[in-house]
Structure 1
């Protein structure tokens, strides 16, 4: 009889501990809101959640990179728009300089205005993107990409477009500054340095004693150069706009992938609160029943002790 009571006592302790653990786990699930907290809880669901987490991390990182590229391209496109306005003003000055009634002094004043526009253009070309880089640094620039020297303005950036890889897609994320400002493609394989060309135009306007024919020829060439630069920068601006449009499409796709991954992760690990509350209540009922059974065994054990 004592052996039977001892066995029931041990069984009661074991059942009570099992019920207590199950109740604690149910309570923890309610607190965390997670059905799967460890791989052992549900290996299949845990694997799905891990794959979704990896996909979510990739999408999030890609979206951050796209956001930085969008800022860079938006500023580049805007800056090229401002450049077009300044170049148009330069063109108007050159057209005015062709007026046969202008004196050398009046053309010299136009030359000063042209130098002022050149300085503004140089400031635009060296504009930063707000993140420690330069809009027209190409593939990289340790400092301002355009530097004024004794021989004119030189490019210190790394020529070429910067490409951003997003999955299988490759997206232009920065404009080639050299091709836009200091190596503008021209006829016969030649290139135009915007700043040096404008400086030469200003020098010509401030050279006294030129003949009408010389002035006309000089102005015609100056207008051709400015128009060529306007065309090239217009292409670069359009390319930036197209890249922005592509970026929006890729960003939308990545955003959907992010939402899908979050949904898969949620489906795999999140708790059904209604079912969880019901389970907790059942576990609590079971625990209370086990506690009552254990109390009865204890009373039997005490009775046997007193009988002995």
Structure 2
């Protein structure tokens, strides 16, 4: 018996082929179990690069979505508060018109003053409302402290500063809750000043001075009410914008997920078909290997 140089032993060739088929079967089984075409970059460098890019995009979109959700939650709370504030100022206007009636007695005006003081307290509580994280909604950048506080003279002053947190991390500006000074007006002519002027009018005993005080109070209350309504419209517009941005983020994440599936995803039907074909091939190879190995052994023994 002799061998030619460069010609491989048939047994070795058959064994190598079976090993290659077994390796492919093992990889396919792993891919089917994971639902992915590859787990190592070396298996598909281009696909891995595409998958990594899409994963980074999705992470950024998740961050944007969280910023939008936080801003939306704050604006929703602000919208409810502003609606309550408008109702409080509307009631204050009604009481001012009623108190301006010259037929009312001093005791009647005293009764009205009790309700007006209650409105003032409610408006102050509203101005210092907090969000779910305990931050003051209308305090702006200093949302760790109350937006409004009484000074030594008992006047309510804005204690916040600048604009509050919005959705800037998501690249969206103008979606922050308006600060208290924008909502309630200047300290000396805003909503709190209007109510204080109304209380002064209710306590004034001189008819001419009382009439002037009520005129001032009504004018300031109308301005304050309109300011609240304008702010409410602005909050509604910001919420609509955030809703659109949230839809954009959701759509972009869906597209990223589809791209990731395309980059790493596995055609399950094709993979299973290939797996079955390889199993048949392996079975046939094992049969052939058995015959070849048997013949080789017979040759050596002969």
* Residue 235 of structure 2 is aligned to residue 233 of structure 1: no
* Residue 259 of structure 2 is aligned to residue 257 of structure 1: no
Aligned residue-pair number? 299
Match of 1:277 among 268, 272, 275: 272
CA RMSD of aligned residues (A): 2.5
Match of 2:34 among 32, 40, 58: 32
Match of 2:237 among 237, 242, 265: 242
Q: 2:262 aligns to what? A: 267
- Conserved 8 A contact 2:68-2:170: no
* Residue 165 of structure 2 is aligned to residue 172 of structure 1: no
Q: 2:21 aligns to what? A: 19
- Conserved 8 A contact 2:194-2:218: no
Question: Take 1:292 and 1:175, find their aligned partners in 2: how far apart are those partners?
Answer: 80
RCO (CA 8 Å, sep 6+): is it higher in 1 or 2?
Answer: 1
- Conserved 8 A contact 1:161-1:172: no
Question: Take 1:245 and 1:238, find their aligned partners in 2: how far apart are those partners?
Answer: 11
Unaligned runs of 5+ in 1: none
Question: Take 2:135 and 2:288, find their aligned partners in 1: how far apart are those partners?
Answer: 73
Match of 1:294 among 289, 298, 302: 289
Q: 1:41 aligns to what? A: 43
- Cα deviation 1:15-68 (Å, max 9, x = unaligned): 222211110011111111112333222222222222222222222221221122
- Conserved 8 A contact 2:165-2:176: yes
Question: Take 1:3 and 1:144, find their aligned partners in 2: how far apart are those partners?
Answer: 95
- Conserved 8 A contact 1:126-1:134: yes
Question: Take 2:110 and 2:2, find their aligned partners in 1: how far apart are those partners?
Answer: 121
Partner of 1:192: helix, strand, or coil? coil
- Conserved 8 A contact 1:162-1:175: no
- Conserved 8 A contact 2:163-2:176: no
- Cα deviation 1:241-298 (Å, max 9, x = unaligned): 1111111222222222112111111122211121111111122122223322333344
* Residue 65 of structure 2 is aligned to residue 63 of structure 1: yes
TM-score (norm 2): 0.89
TM-score (norm 1): 0.87
- Conserved 8 A contact 1:36-1:268: no
- Conserved 8 A contact 1:142-1:157: no
- Which stretches of structure 1, 4 residues or more, deviate above 4 A after TM superposition? 1-6, 166-169, 304-307
Q: 2:156 aligns to what? A: 153
Structure with the bigger percentage of strand: 1
Question: Take 2:209 and 2:133, find their aligned partners in 1: how far apart are those partners?
Answer: 48
Question: Take 1:55 and 1:156, find their aligned partners in 2: how far apart are those partners?
Answer: 40
Unaligned runs of 5+ in 2: none
Partner of 1:173: helix, strand, or coil? coil
- Conserved 8 A contact 2:54-2:259: yes
